[in-house]
Amino acid sequence: MTKKIVFLTGTRADFGKLSPLMDAVESDNTFECHIFVTGIHTLEKYGNTFEEVQKKGYKNITVFHNQADVNQQDIILAKTITGFSEYVKQISPDMIIVHGDRIEALAGAIVGSFNNILVSHIEGGEISGTVDELIRHAVSKLSHIHFTANDEAKERLIQLGESKNNIFTIGSPDIHVMTSVELPTINEVLNHYEIPFKDFGVFIFHPVTTELDTLAEQISEVISSLIESNKNFIVIYPNNDSGTEIILEKIHELESNKKFMIFPSVRFLYFLTILKNAQFIIGNSSAAVREAEVFGTPAINIGSRQKNRSKNKEIVNVEPKKNLILNAIQQVENKRFDEKSFFGYVENTTERFLDVLRNPLVWKISIQKQFIDIQKSGS
């Protein structure tokens, strides 16, 4: 009997990670693939990226607007739960698949667990040190099946009381894409986005929602540093979290500066090409502490948002202070690191994912979860 699987995507980043898994499920006759598109995909100021999902040609796509340009995260959560719950009742899926640590993933896990539907979580068990980590762990506790990027994440899930029998290490789907898919050439990307420079850094800075009282000061220091560095920068909008408008206000001040090209969003494969060819990436995006090292692109991580996410000693970690940031830019200037991946590189990620879904025993995993205590030595 065909199993009906729903993927929930709420951001450009999670779609980049989920799309190879969506492709695999869509092309397998064992499954019926459905995609629920929401979040910043539906916002015009981010480029209406739901259209990029639609261009992929999936058979069953539903677009749901869960937020206005500015909404509190709790309101977005409530709206997403309401909309996704109504959708789920209409199509009656056998499994819901969510990714990461965003509000939309939490909503999907809540709806699934409260409606006795199997929930699978991609890339649980990771840490950061911010509120995103709390959301990620909450999603894991509401999920029945876990697809982790590495064994370290698996061990954290076991610490959270999850059954090791329901945790499958498949690697990170986007690392799989980075190492196995032919990317667009840098000339294609520069021409497509009409970027006039070939030497550039990438800047992405998201709000840390627990630091809103200092955010204006932080972003002022950061932007001032970028201007003073006299480098070229490709700037990509932050996530639509509380505090985003504070960051965007400073970014908009750069629009007349020819050293900066500003984009609400960039296609995933095009972004990978930009990252691969950048002199460095700077900000507090996970791309700096995850994807950049795969290409050997130097990374400057600013502030606390990614504090605990990487053990790569080549990443330069700095506080949001102008003198420290300028020193960091000089430190990585004209450098290139060895291409490597400390995180999430596993061969055949999509095949491993499909192998789990094709296993009849997976579909018999109990929706009534039990907390599994860690066996202490000597007990």
pLDDT in tens, 193-222: 999 999 999 999 999 888 999 999 999 999
Q: What is the pTM of this model?
A: 0.90
Say which DSSP state 208 is in: -
pLDDT tens string 217-246: 999 999 999 999 999 999 999 988 889 999
HSE at residue 70, side-chain half, CA atoms within 13 A, is 7
Tokens of 43: 């916002």
Q: Is the pLDDT of residue 376 over 90?
A: no
For residue 316, what are the β-bridge partners?
Answer: 300
Pick 346 or 63 by higher pLDDT: 63
Fold of the domain spanning 180-332? Rossmann fold (3.40.50)
Write down the pLDDT at residue 130. 74
Mean pLDDT of the chain: 92
Tokens of 158: 């076991």
For residue 2, the one-letter residue type is T
Query: What are the domain boundaries of the chain?
Result: 3-171+346-364, 180-332
Architecture, CATH, for domain 3-171+346-364: 3-Layer(aba) Sandwich (3.40)
Where residue 243 falls (left for φ over 0; alpha for ψ -120 to 50; beta otherwise) is: left
Write down the pLDDT at residue 177. 80
Phi then psi for 178, rounded to 5 degrees?
Answer: -60, -30
Write down the pLDDT at residue 5. 98
Provide the pLDDT confidence category of residue 310 given band limits of 50, 70 and 90.
low
Residue 243: exposed, middle, or buried by beta-carbon count in 10 A (0-12, 13-18, 19+)? buried
Q: Do domains 3-171+346-364 and 180-332 have the same CATH topology?
A: yes
pLDDT tens string 41-85: 999 988 899 999 999 999 999 999 998 766 688 999 999 999 999
CB 17 within 8 A of CB 10: no
Order of strands across the sheet that contains 316-318: 260-263, 233-236, 201-204, 280-283, 299-302, 316-318
Pick 295 or 309 by higher pLDDT: 295
CB 46 within 8 A of CB 265: yes
Write down the pLDDT at residue 379. 41
For residue 94, what are the β-bridge partners?
Answer: none
Provide the pLDDT confidence category of residue 378 given band limits of 50, 70 and 90.
very low
Q: Is the pLDDT of residue 152 over 60?
A: yes
